[in-house]
Structure 1
Amino acid sequence: METNQYSRRKFARDAARFTLGAALAPQIIPASVLGRGRTSPSDKIHVGSIGVGLRGADVMRNFLAQDDVRVVAVCDVNRPVREAARQLVDDHNGDHSCAAYNDFRELLARRDIDVVTIASPDHWHVPMAIAAANAGKDIYLEKPMGLSVSQDQALRTACHRNGTAFQFGTHQRSFDRFRWACELVRNGRIGELRTINVWSPGSTPGGPTAPVPVPPGLDYEMWLGPAPSVPYTEDRCSNKYWWFISDYALGFIAGWGIHPLDIALWGGGDKLRCSVEVEGTGVFPSSGLVDTAVDWDIHFSYTSGVKMHFTGRPLEEWQKYGPLASHGTAFEGAEGWVWIDRENMAASPKKLESSFIGPGDLHLYRSRDHARNLLDCVRTRRPTVCPIDDSVQADITCQIADIAIRTHQKLRWDPASERFTGNEKANRFLTRPMRSPWQI
């Protein structure tokens, strides 16, 4: 059994995994040399943040707000973004000690870093997270996970092998309202679960395709990394479009859809941990930079008898739940329903809205703050509210939905083998090539 609290692997072994020189660490006794149950002399958990643009900066701020955290390094391939993040951290810490890196491997080579946050573009999520796990770091990974099922599987293996404390960015599990709605379902308050309706925003079409010069300060080659080498185009690397380009992401079928789908899985429990048939339709752009589905209508039929309907917009018949936002999850049972999103919630019969989950009922994992939950688990080594196995299940649900609309076929997914039954065409979508020299 490993005996140190944070970085559970020797630096000499870690360094062999990276093709670069060792980065210089600040003059501080690293947490990795202390025993389990101990923190660094400053009693701080040291955090390094990889990908510190809009969302990444928000994630980093959530950790900066924790009293027992010191952010010691940031990394981004966009120099202005990187320097802005360094300044933000230095202002918070009241000194000039925060290091800033262009290459994430330099950050991971530092022995004094206990936790990394990763909020890079999606195509980098799994390669960076596997490298972090192998370097002995605990991980906060923004959603979604990988570009393929095989990437998800590889990250799961790395986390289990290294004993990584892992938190996924499906942070709705840390909201009381979502937990309560799922507890209603799991405790049978709506009767036998029959149907789950899930919706999220669709993707954005368009995007310029004419090559233009790379903006000053952007390391475009490193931004591309394992993705195909293509000329730079306007806004390709901005949040305006990369989310919706299949070289880098699955579009909002995963980028946003994973939030309400994760709640569906949390509320459905074992009823959704079984074989499932999935089929549907998708609308794909005919021109422009974007090539992921901008709208979709997908049906899941589980062998438990539960059916799930997942769309890129709320359907008219779902207005019965209440004033719908662009995303949400609704559970329908034999005796009622409960609907939840980030703005509203409702249930039928109405008395369910004041229903109490008592001491003898099933209680789901209680987390009040997503960053805090990971940090507590870094110390205790207990699972987080979004552990790696649940996170992979949620991401695979997005993956098989996308594959179904791309193959135009009804597919049967076997969760035991994590393959489609009797359909090699669909199974070919379970892996993706990576541009050399990158690999996982």
Structure 2
Amino acid sequence: MGGDGARGGSPLGHNSGMGSLHPHGGSSYLRRSCRDTVVQGLLRHARFGLRCQHMQRRRFLQSAGLIAAGTAAPFVLPSRLFADQAPSERVTLGFIGTGRQAQALNIPEFMAVPGVQVVAVCDVDSWRAGQAKALVESTYAKRQPSGSYRGCAAFRDFRELLARTDIDAVMISTPDHWHVPMALAALRAGKDVSLEKPITRYISEGRRVVKTTAQHTRVFRVDSEFRSLERFHRAAELVRNRRIGKLHTIRVASPKEEFPEEAEIVTAPPADLDYDLWLGPAEKVPYMQKRVHPPRDLKSRPGWFRSKLFADGMLTNWGAHLVDVAQWANGTERTGPVEVQATGKYHDGAVWNVLETFDARFRFANGVQLFYTMDQPNIRFEGDKGWLQVNYATSAQHPELLEASSPDILAARLGSSDVRFPLRSERVDFIDAVRTRGQTMEDAEVGQRTISICHLAHIGIQRDGATLTWDPDNERFPNDEAANTLLTGPASRAPWAD
């Protein structure tokens, strides 16, 4: 599917400055090496995932990290990768969407989790699917005495992958407009689902994902790594345990979007691309590279990020990361605000037309106010005894990743009676839940509540900045039917209406 689902975070969270940030966020200061990102991801699994694994798994991930540090992907996996795992604990995984996000991060990082076997990949771009298949098979070949491995199927149509009964779970890394249709189909097919953020484009469809996950007793995880980044985890624990006193204000900033000059030329789709299936449920519009992704290119940022036909820009792209941590720290991850007011400006382009600026304010039932805007990515928590700020990366203005009004806040120790959160890699979190049938750290309900805040801002902007009352229990605007009509998107194109 041209899976370029954006991720906002460096897996280990180590950045030398704004110039080294992750490429999938989009702005010019968000560039970094994909290989370095994968190396850090593997090391992060070694650091966090093995806390709940036995010693053999610990040695494996440490080995994977060391090998990755000196070589480019694909990485050498030890020959005992599957042998150490009991068949009942082995998890077979299929990837739907194999763009730059999947091949730089998702596939290599999941293959680094002990007992996970990638058995299928799928993309409507046959070149991308072929590259992903080669990545999987060349990685696994390194563990075979023969140096050969042929065990990863490649599909064009995701429905064929879902029909396979030997696949336990899927990772969906497609353009945003496909997230919900594919997730619902996977859940109904009996697959556990790890879904790239933002998981939805409209509030109503998110509630369907929550209900379908429960109805089919499936495991679901929002694929966001920010709860696994130590500084965000530390900030959330300190705030929840009132080390800054009573929380009253949260300020969130996502990166600014860029709209570089690019030709708007209608052409025939590349031979590798099934463009009609790429569009899927979206409105049928003529092909142009600016709408999709550059052919045979796994490095450039795809154009669909900036088109309202397929995505909602930085508002949801980074909001899914940062607003989630704000919710986590505020103790509101399974509910939402009671009031929203937002303004913004859409880019005036024929193809690229997502928000280029926005300012949103939310009020929660506990009195906390959340302000969400665009700037260098960070979250600032303000309480009646001090403040704490967690930065995505360091900069001249913010030389530390974690800052506070007093050193005592950062040095505070948490005791056994304090609220504590698990700290583990998002990949391990998902796989462990698949095995145990437990709950992930960001399940469907948490994901729905987080991304709904971003959607509420979008609705507020479309309602011309009016102050709107929101009922988080019923997920409705009690006194604004015009706003309620924006809870649901346009009808899907046939045959994808559900």
Counterpart Cα distance in 1 of 2:362 and 2:409: 27
1:174/1:369 contact within 8 Å kept: yes
Q: How does 1:351-362 map to 2 (within 5 A)?
A: 351-362=408-419
Q: How does 1:32-431 map to 2 (within 5 A)?
A: 41=87, 43-57=89-103, 58-94=105-141, 95-205=149-259, 207-238=262-293, 239-270=301-332, 273=335, 275-313=337-375, 326-343=376-393, 344-364=401-421, 366-408=422-464, 409-431=466-488
Residue 434 (1) aligns with residue 492 (2): yes
1:201/1:257 contact within 8 Å kept: no
Q: CA deviation at 1:202?
A: 2.5
Q: CA deviation at 1:360?
A: 1.4
RMSD across aligned C-alpha pairs, in angstroms? 1.6
1:47/1:117 contact within 8 Å kept: yes
Q: What one-letter code is carried by the residue in structure 2 that aligns with 1:437?
A: P
| Deviation by residue 1:107-148 (Cα, 9 ceiling, x = unmatched) | 000000001000000000011011111111111110001121
Q: What one-letter code is carried by the residue in structure 1 that aligns with 2:248?
A: R
Counterpart Cα distance in 2 of 1:271 and 1:190: 20
Please list every run of 5 or more consecutive structure 2 residues that lacks an aligned counterpart in the other structure. 1-84, 142-148, 294-300, 394-400
1:194/1:332 contact within 8 Å kept: yes
Structure 2 counterpart SS, 1:164:
coil
Aligned length: 389
Counterpart Cα distance in 2 of 1:77 and 1:242: 15
Q: CA deviation at 1:65?
A: 0.9
Counterpart Cα distance in 2 of 1:273 and 1:225: 32
Q: CA deviation at 1:289?
A: 1.1
| Deviation by residue 1:24-52 (Cα, 9 ceiling, x = unmatched) | xxxxxxxxxxxxxxx87385210000001
Q: CA deviation at 1:376?
A: 0.8
Which piece of structure 1 moves more, 349-358 or 81-90?
349-358
Counterpart Cα distance in 2 of 1:303 and 1:141: 29
| Deviation by residue 1:278-310 (Cα, 9 ceiling, x = unmatched) | 112111122231111111111112232111110
1:331/1:338 contact within 8 Å kept: yes
- Structure 1 residues 352 and 272 mapped into 2: Cα distance closer, same or farther (>3 Å)? farther
Q: What one-letter code is carried by the residue in structure 1 that aligns with 2:100?
A: L
Structure 2 counterpart SS, 1:202:
coil
Counterpart Cα distance in 2 of 1:202 and 1:240: 16
Q: CA deviation at 1:436?
A: 1.2
- Structure 1 residues 271 and 145 mapped into 2: Cα distance closer, same or farther (>3 Å)? closer
Q: What one-letter code is carried by the residue in structure 2 that aligns with 1:420?
A: F
Counterpart Cα distance in 2 of 1:98 and 1:274: 42
| Deviation by residue 1:55-88 (Cα, 9 ceiling, x = unmatched) | 1221111111112011000001111111000000
- Structure 1 residues 373 and 282 mapped into 2: Cα distance closer, same or farther (>3 Å)? same
1:204/1:290 contact within 8 Å kept: no
- Structure 1 residues 275 and 371 mapped into 2: Cα distance closer, same or farther (>3 Å)? closer
Q: What one-letter code is carried by the residue in structure 2 that aligns with 1:229?
A: K
Counterpart Cα distance in 2 of 1:413 and 1:207: 39
Q: What one-letter code is carried by the residue in structure 1 that aligns with 2:101?
A: R
Counterpart Cα distance in 1 of 2:359 and 2:88: 52
1:165/1:384 contact within 8 Å kept: yes
Structure 1 counterpart SS, 2:180:
helix
Which piece of structure 1 moves more, 204-213 or 113-122?
204-213
1:207/1:241 contact within 8 Å kept: no
Q: What one-letter code is carried by the residue in structure 2 that aligns with 1:263?
A: V
| Deviation by residue 1:194-215 (Cα, 9 ceiling, x = unmatched) | 1000000123336543312211
2:264/2:290 contact within 8 Å kept: no
- Structure 1 residues 280 and 42 mapped into 2: Cα distance closer, same or farther (>3 Å)? closer
